[in-house]
Amino acid sequence: MTLRTRFAPSPTGFLHIGGARTALFCHLHARHYGGKTILRIEDTDRERHKQEAVDAILAGMHWLGMDPDEGPFYQSDNASRHLDVAEQLIVGERAYRCYCTKDELDQMRDEQRAKGIKPKYDGRCRNRTAPPSDDAPFVVRFLRPKVGEVVWDDKIQGEIRVRNDELDDLILVRSDGSPTYNLAVVVDDHDMGINLVIRGEDHLSNTPRQIQLFEALAWEVPEYAHMPLLHGSDGAKLSKRHGAVSVLSFRDDGFLASAVNNYLVRLGWSHGDQEIFTQEEMEQLFDVCEVGRSAAIFDSDKLLWINSHHIRDAHPEELLEELIIQLEKIEIYGVERDKLLEVIPEFQERSKTMVEMAAKVSFLFVDDLPVYDPAAAKKHMKVASLAPLTELANRLEAQPEWSLAAIEKVFKSILEAFDIKMGKLAQPVRVSLTGTATSPGIYETLYLLGREKTIARLRHGVEFLEEKAAFAT
């Protein structure tokens, strides 16, 4: 039997990190077992259905490499089927029309509370034979089994038992004629052939009700895996402050999809003490049955750490698109892809995010002369460097070939001529070329920057030092 699982978000907003984790667990488990993922947009609450929210969910899933195998399907498209099933339940005497008014229900609950009983619908319409009036509004309620219990072996939570008499006669169809969540989910899960439901622990209380419905309809009950919820590092429910923002905002902040997935997979699941997983490894190894029961904590420092590993280990081609996006944000357009592929390896070890990488490589692609970081200039742009820097510019200009070996040769000749150590030359060169005291290896920096920009920036550094020298005398 092919495993079929689904991700069923309500389109109330973007795909946030908690939703992405649910989608990821569905995706990975399905991949591991050669199953299928189905995306179902639960838009029964029509007023809440927003196309932008659906688009944002699809875009978030696409970025994370989790396009569904089937769907998106829209739950609202199945409303008439849901109502047919409700009718079928009425005919089979497993559901009934309830005409109780709001006042009646409020009074019933007040009386129950006064007697110290847990408020619950008392089933007074179960045996009603006729409506109170022809046009009396009604809801359809499920006639729950009065004895016995619902038992299921949750793949994460273990065995769960709920006595049937603890549950209410659930509303299946509202008085406006619209199907409720529990009815819609059961019908859709059945019709879509879902045999494993992976979802958040916040749905645990719905599961026994849904199982009762499956049983009343003599449909096969799917298996369930209820994932522990995600909390912020302070233990509070995840909020915007903790990162409950759109997953796409992680992209904006320079995170890689593989790193976000790797981070999310480790929230509740482990494989020995391995922390870094490629997408393929996750798909091979993940099993929802191995997810732990304790609440997961969102930790942005760890995400950053994992991201830096993924950047370091990536093939430059895998970083290209993300780098281009970040470069465009800082108004660097049209750099040749081959040039970027040459540049990326020099910066992989140095960048925790793609935003950082774009900022670090930007000096290579701007035409303007760099503005010196004051601290770097103060520390490294000393008048003593004026002569070696001038000579370096002259010799590089006279050097016909622009290769790492040729650059290295010129550098060595300057160190020898002035009898200085590499740091005394490399640091003022770095500041002159990048405006900062950090860059990849100095020969690589010159090589990547190219002859023309290197010479112009060295000459500018020389002018800076000349002014400084003039000022000092």
Residues that bind ligand GLU (CB under 6 A): 8-10, 42, 185, 199, 203
Toward ligand GLU, which CB reaches closer, 199 or 457?
199
Rounded Cα–Cα distance for residues 44 and 74 (Å) = 9
In whole angstroms, the minimum distance from the beta carbon of 12 to ligand GLU comes to 8
CB of 40 to ligand GLU, least distance (A): 8
Tell which residue, 230, 242, 199, has the closest CA to residue 297: 230
For residues 53 and 429, which CB has a smaller minimum distance to ligand GLU in the complex?
53
Helix orientation angle between 206-216 and 181-191, rounded to the nearest 10 degrees: 60
- Angle, nearest 10°, between helix axes 422-434 and 451-472? 110
Least Å distance, CB 18 to ligand GLU, is: 10
CB-based contact 18:207 (threshold 8 Å): no
- Closest approach, Cβ 146 to ligand GLU, in A, equals 26
Taking the complex as a whole, the smallest distance from the CB of residue 90 to ligand GLU amounts, in Å, to 24
Beta bridge partners of residue 223, listed in sequence order: 196
Q: Which is nearer to ligand GLU, 170 or 259 (CB)?
A: 170
Residue 193 or 345: the one with the smaller Cβ distance to ligand GLU is 193
How many CA atoms lie within 13 Å of 123's alpha carbon, on the beta-carbon side? 13
Is the peptide bond prior to 72 cis by the omega test (within 30 degrees of 0)? Answer: yes
**CA–CA dist 270, 296 (Å, integer):** 12
Cα distance between residue 277 and residue 280, in whole Å: 8
Identity of the residue, 20 or 343, whose beta carbon is nearer to ligand GLU in the bound complex: 20
Q: Which residues of 11-38 are buried (b: 16+ CB within 10 A; e: fewer)?
A: bebbbbbbbbbbbbbbbbbbbbeebbbb
Rounded least distance, CB 182 to ligand GLU, Å: 9
Alpha-carbon distance of 415 to 417, in angstroms, equals 6
Give the pair of three-digit tokens for residue 341.
């592929």
Nearer to ligand GLU, 254 or 268 (CB): 268
| Phi–psi pair at 91, nearest 5 degrees | -60, -40
* CA-closest candidate to residue 183, choices 173, 193, 192: 173
- Can 240 be counted among the known catalytic residues? yes
DSSP 328-343: HHTT-----HHHHHHH
Q: Which is nearer to ligand GLU, 203 or 409 (CB)?
A: 203
Q: In angstroms, what is the minimal distance from the CB of 212 to ligand GLU?
A: 15
Comparison of 185 and 213: residue with beta carbon closer to ligand GLU: 185
Cβ 196 to ligand GLU shortest distance, Å: 12
Residue 449 CA to residue 454 CA, distance in Å, equals: 6
Q: Residue 410 in 3-state DSSP?
A: helix
Among the listed residues 102, 118, 146, 240, the single catalytic one is: 240
In whole angstroms, give the CA distance from residue 335 to residue 328: 10
CA distance 363 to 439: 10
Active site (catalytic) residues: 240
